Amino acid sequence: MSDYNFLMESRLSPEQFAVVGLFSRLAAELGLNLYLVGGAVRDLTYGQQVVRDLDFIVEGPIQRLLRSLPQADARKPVRPAPEIAPPGLEYQEVNERVGSAELLFSSGVRAEIAMCRNEFYARPGQRPEVSPAAVFEDLKRRDFAINAMAVSLHPNSRGLLLDPTNGAGDIERHEIRALHSRSFLDDPLRIYRLLRLGLRLDFKPDERTQRWLDIAWEEKSWQNLDQDQQSRELAAILHEDQPGRVFKMLAERKILGGLDKKLSSSRLNYDQFARIRSAMQNAPSADPFLLNFHCLVAKLGGEHKQRLAKRLIGEAKAIKLALGLERDAKKLDRLLSSSKAHLPSQVYILLSPQPRPLLFFLLAFTKRAKVQNRIKSFLFKFPQIQARLPRAELQGLGVKPGPEFERIIARVFELQLDGKLKLPQQITKQMRELAGIKEPPPPPPAPPPAKKKKEPLPAPSPAGRKGKKGAEAAAARASAEPGKEAASAHVANIPAAPPAKTSGKAGAKPIEAPPKAAAVPHKPEPKAKPIQPAKPAKQGRAGKSSPEGKPAVKARKPNKPAPKPAMKAKKR
């Protein structure tokens, strides 16, 4: 079984989850049993990433709960903030007959709350008679099993699923199953709802539901809708992701006139619905209702536009925005393409007070790439920079939250948008300047490292003083007198004689230790005779060999100059 506490926390938007928490807390304080019901539970069970509707039911009157809701401050414009503020109520429309109310919160979340009731239809297509009931009776009187599930929001049973008609099984089988045979005859609006949900979820009616639908189709019960039912279904279609597909399907089945006769004769521009869907695909939490309404009434007359706007929108401020989208978009297009929006900070200041539906409408229909890029930066890039503003660091510098705090943060944000502040050190320095906080004095310079004293070089050895010849002489002396060194080492290793032991009696002579064997004197090793160079062998006579048997080699005599002939003595 699914964990609906986890599903609500992870699948609902932060604004929707805040509204659920607000209703849960107020109902617990008043002692009322509150349930999340209908399309929200169906979408959570099916695994939809976006939950469109928040429908609540309460066992008991809803007036006590409505009086406890906080009212929004109309003087403060709603702007995106890093943290989700507590939702305030901006608009509500109460239906006293059935005990329900439609609510719009300052965070943009729409919700409906109703008392648990039972309905009885006196005539097909007419308004039913309503009576209070328990939660299980309320679930069983609904249209389809996939919409007859509820999740408890009471603190003692929060997250408990109530599914008396096995709607979870129909979701697994991708089926839509009506709960009784007169479902489409009593409430013909369910014909449109079945077709719309089947197209969105890719579900098909089961065999018995299809038979009941064919019977209602033959009797043309879809023509019996009153104006309130028509308005509710048109508004539900305009909240769809692809309303153009729904309107096209209804037009092909020739039942679009059951919602409004003028719509059946007008040609809707289905491409405009597709362009709006493409512009809003990166903002799944945004509501395309007003933009889709503009596409629906684009080719209708002024009076008919006003009439449909009052029926479908209701709020005067939203009506003015929806009917003036095209005119306001042209003005904003000219401003964004001028030099007044040259810097990103100028774009932010220019677009911050503009309503979001106007921005998405201009994004969908402008032909200027420069304007599209600037709107995309404002919608998707600037909020990421805003979420990373160093608020905690500014508080750490000693600036308390307040007007001055917000002024500094706004200025830092503008400089970041324009690329003048990039590094954290630059941001911190700028915040100090804006807050009038002096820079801390630089730390004193570190003392220079102490110089190490030079250690004296070791005294040179005799070999080092005398050089190579001295080393050779020392080695010759060591080899010539090895006995002295060995003898001295032998004497040093002889242990000292132990002290003489005495007996315990007085006057006793000391006990002499046994004589040790006389130490054998160490004989010095014989001196090594130096190797004499071999004498050259005596030369024998020519032709005779040497004593070793090798022929003697007659040494060559050096060539001497021939003696000069002696001068003969003169005869006297």
Tell me which amino acid residue 370 is. Answer: K
Exposed/middle/buried for residue 449 (C-beta within 10 Å: 0-12, 13-18, 19+): exposed
pLDDT above 60 (res 78): no
Domain definitions of the chain by residue range: 1-173, 324-379, 389-435
pLDDT (0 to 100) of residue 88: 74
pLDDT (0 to 100) of residue 192: 95
pLDDT (0 to 100) of residue 530: 55
Residues in Cβ contact with 274 at an 8 Å cutoff, skipping those fewer than 6 apart: 242, 244
Token pair of 118, please? 């039972």
**Distance in angstroms (rounded) separating the CA atoms of residues 453 and 317:** 87
pLDDT in tens, 211-254: 999 999 898 888 888 888 899 999 999 999 899 999 999 999 99
pLDDT in tens, 11-39: 998 889 999 999 999 999 999 999 999 99
Mean pLDDT of the chain: 81
pLDDT (0 to 100) of residue 479: 54
pLDDT above 80 (res 319): yes
pTM for the model stands at: 0.70
Cα separations (Å) of 138 from 26, 35, 133, 185, 479?
22, 11, 6, 19, 120
> Do residues 159 and 151 lie in contact, with contact meaning Cβ atoms separated by under 8 Å?
yes
pLDDT in tens, 547-560: 444 444 444 555 55
| Arch. (CATH architecture) of 1-173 | 2-Layer Sandwich (3.30)
> Do residues 215 and 245 lie in contact, with contact meaning Cβ atoms separated by under 8 Å?
no
- Collapsing DSSP to helix, strand or coil, 115 comes out as strand
